[in-house]
Amino acid sequence: MRYREGMNVQAYILIQTGVGKASSVAHAIAAIPGVTLAEGITGPYDVIMRAEAATMEDFGRLILSKVQAVPGITRTLTCPVTG
């Protein structure tokens, strides 16, 4: 996948949620600026999201901090895109 101009940091984030919370978590995450994908999945994680930002600092400050504040999330795993 190509990086959009000015978006130098991209990552997938796998999210575990409380029972019955996956749909509400995915909807809340989809509304966060910088999030390009948020969908429910099956397996050990309940939601997968993809996000992008101009810098790693922006990624942490603008995206990760907002994602981790969403009610219903119990664990996250961030997987940076390398190319």
**Residue 18, SS3 per DSSP:** coil
Buried b / exposed e over 25-61, threshold 16 CB at 10 Å, is bbebbeebebbeebeeeeeebbbbbbbbbeeeeebee
CATH of 9-80, one of 1.10.1740.10, 3.30.930.10, 3.30.70.920, 3.40.50.720: 3.30.70.920
> 0.75 cut: is pTM over it?
yes
The label of the residue with tokens 């664990």 reads: 75
Q: Give the Cβ contact number of residue 13 at 10 Å.
A: 24
Element (H, E) at 80: strand 73-80
- Domain residues of the chain, as ranges? 9-80
Residue pLDDT, tens place only, 2-52: 555 556 899 999 999 999 999 999 999 999 999 999 999 999 999 999 999
